Structure 1
Amino acid sequence: MEVILLERVAKLGQMGEVVRVKDGFARNFLLKRGKALRATDANRAKYDGMKAELEANNIKAKGEAAVVAEKIDGRDIVIIRQASESGQLFGSVTVRDIVVALAADGVTVARPQVWLDSPIKTIGQQKVTIAVHPEVETSVTVTVARSAEEADRIKRGEDISTRQEDQDAAAEAIAAAGEFFDPEAQHDEAEPAPAAEEK
C-alpha cells in the first residue's frame, strides 16, 4: 500500500514522502496512529492543504522535544537487580524497567521512545538511546548493579569481577606481609647439610 507520511518515521521516510509499505503495517500502525494517509488523489490534495500546518506543528513539537532531551541527556540511572557471582542477572532489565527508573528520576518517556536492542542480562553500564521526537534523540547511561555501593564502583570504573570484601582482605594481607619483610635484612650463609651416611 502507498501512503503519504504526515511526520518523519524512522527507517521509512520524511514528512510528505509517498512510500510503499506492507498493508498490515499501514493499517495497524501508520494509519491508526495518524502518521500517514492513504496515497489517493483526494488525500494528496488534503495533504497539500494541511502541509503548512503540519510543518508548524512539527517545528513546535521538535522544540519541545529538544527541551526534554536536554533534561534527559547524560543522565545516569541505576537499576538494582539480583545477580550471580559472575555478574549474570537473575532475569533481565527491559525497556519497561528503564522507563520506570526514568519516571522515578522525574522524567516521563513512553516505552516506544526507548531504543534497547535486547534486554540487559549482565551487571555493568550501557548507553541507551531515547528518541523523544522522530528528529531528536538523546542517550542515558543505565548502570545495573547488585547494590548501590557496587553501582558506585562501576561508575568509577573499578573491577567488579571480584567482591569488595575479597579486595579488602587481599590489601590487608599485603600490608601484613609488608610488616614481616625487611628489605635491609642480611642473609646468613646457610651451613651445608650433613652428607647422608652410606651403609
Structure 2
Amino acid sequence: MAMNVILLERVAKLGQMGEVVSVKEGYARNYLLPQKKALWASDANVAAFEQQKSDLEARNAETREEASKLAERLEGQQFVVIRAASDGGALYGSVSTRDIADAAQAEGFEVDRRQVSLSAPIKYLGVHEALITLHPEVEVTIELNIARSPEEAELQAQGKSIQELAAEEEAAAEFEIQELFDDIGAAQLDELETADEQRTDQPATQEKSTLDEKLDRDDN
C-alpha cells in the first residue's frame, strides 16, 4: 500500500526537501518516519511544514556546510584496521561499519556507523573503499587498509597486495635455503679437495722416504 509523505530533507531516489512523494507504507513506517526524514502528508502537516520551511532550510544549509568541511578533511584518507587472517588473506571474521567508524574516530574524525556503507562485505585483506554519507547532499569515499599488522598495512599502502607480499616472502625463504645448500656444498667441496691433496702428497712422501733409505744403504 502506498502513501504520501513530505520530505524533511533530500532523500536519494525520492526527492528534495519539501516535496510530497508517494512511498510504500512499510518504507515510511520503518525508515523515513523514525529517521525523521519525512512526515505524513496530511493537510495539517503540510500547513505546519510551510510555516517552518524557512527555518528547516536554514538548518539544512548549516548542517550541509559542516558536513562539507568534514568531507574535505576525510577526502583521500586511508584508515588502518588490524584483523587476523589466513595466509591466503581471508579474514577470520568481518569488518563492520562500527569498526570503520571507530577507525575514523580514532584519527579524530566524527563519523557515526550509521553514516558508513559498503558496496560489499569485506572478507579479505587489502585496501577497500567505504562510502560515508555525512549529509543527504554530502558524501565522501574513504579507503580502508585491512592488514594483519601495522607493518603489513604500510606495505599495502605502498600498493603491494597480499599475494605479492606472500610471493616475496616465499622467494626470500627459497633464497635462504639455496644459500644454505650452497654453503654446505662449498664446505663439502673443500673437504674433498683437501682429502685429494692429502692422497696426492702421501705417495710422494713415501717415495722420498724409500729413496733416502736406499741412499743411506749405498753410503754404508
Class of the TM-score when normalised by the shorter of the 2 chains:
0.7 to 0.9
Pairwise CA RMSD of aligned residues?
2.5
TM-superposed CA distance for 1:171, in Å, is 5.6
Q: CA deviation at 1:174?
A: 8.5
TM-score, with structure 2 as normaliser: 0.74
Which amino acid letter does the alignment assign opposite residue 169 of structure 1? Answer: A
Which of structures 1 and 2 has the bigger CA Rg? 2
Residue of structure 2 equivalent to 1:155: 157
Q: Structure 1: where are the runs of 5+ without partners?
A: 177-199
Shift of 1:175: 8.8
Distance 1:169 1:43, change over 3 A: same
Aligned residue type for 1:10:
A
* Unpaired segments ≥5 residues, structure 2: 181-220
CA contact (8 A) 1:95 1:119 kept: no
Runs in 1 of length 4+ with deviation above 3 angstroms?
Answer: 169-176
Residue 65 of structure 1, CA deviation: 0.6
**Is the CA contact (8 Å cut-off) linking 1:126 and 1:142 kept in structure 2?**
yes
CA contact (8 A) 2:126 2:161 kept: no
Task: Assess, with a 3 A threshold, how the Cα gap between structure 1 residues 73 and 30 changes in structure 2: closer, same or farther.
Answer: same
- Measure the CA separation in 2 of the matches of 1:153 and 1:33: 41
Give 1:12's aligned residue.
Answer: 14
Higher helix content, 1 or 2: 2
Task: Specify which of 69, 80, 86 is matched with residue 78 of structure 1.
Answer: 80
The 1-side partners of 2:161 and 2:138 are apart by 35
Contact kept in structure 1, 2:84 and 2:92, CA below 8 Å: yes
Aligned AA (1:66): S
Q: Structure 1 residues 118, 66: closer, same or farther in 2, change over 3 A? A: same
Q: Does 1:165 align with 2:169?
A: yes
Indicate the structure whose relative CO is greater, using CA pairs within 8 Å and at least 6 residues apart. 1
Alpha-carbon distance between aligned partners in 1 of 2:30 and 2:62, rounded to the nearest angstrom: 27
With over 3 angstroms needed to count, the CA separation of the structure-2 counterparts of 1:149 and 1:163, relative to structure 1, is farther
Over the matched positions of the two proteins, sequence identity in percent amounts to 49
Q: Which residue of 2 aligns with 1:108?
A: 110
Distance 1:3 1:10 in 2: 15
The CA deviation at 1:84 is 0.8
Q: What TM-score comes out, normalization by structure 1 length?
A: 0.81
Structure-2 separation of matches of 1:88 and 1:101: 20
Higher strand residue share: 1
Structure 1 residue 48 displacement after superposition:
1.5
Aligned residue pair count: 180
